Amino acid sequence: MLRPEDIHRLCRLARLEITSTEVPDVSAKLSSIVAMVDELQAVETAGVAPMAHPLDRPQRLRPDTVTEVDR
């Protein structure tokens, strides 16, 4: 669980303003996010090729052409 000092520091860095009554709720939510990241990091991914897209289809890309002049 994150300490209230940690929450206030994170909010200051993110330029978010929260009240003292919101700290427990924010702490619980951030702690659950950290727990989920820990679960994801525990998954064995050795030998798994990275994917650009979860579906095995070519991506539709627009042509790389100039559409406006530089002023």
For residues 17 and 21, what is the distance between their CA atoms, to the nearest angstrom? Answer: 12
For residues 9 and 49, what is the distance between their CA atoms, to the nearest angstrom? Answer: 37
For residues 1 and 32, what is the distance between their CA atoms, to the nearest angstrom? Answer: 9
pLDDT per residue over 14-71, tens digit each?
999 999 999 999 999 999 999 999 999 999 989 888 887 777 777 778 888 888 888 7
Is residue 9's pLDDT more than 90?
yes
Contact 7, 30 (CB under 8 A): yes
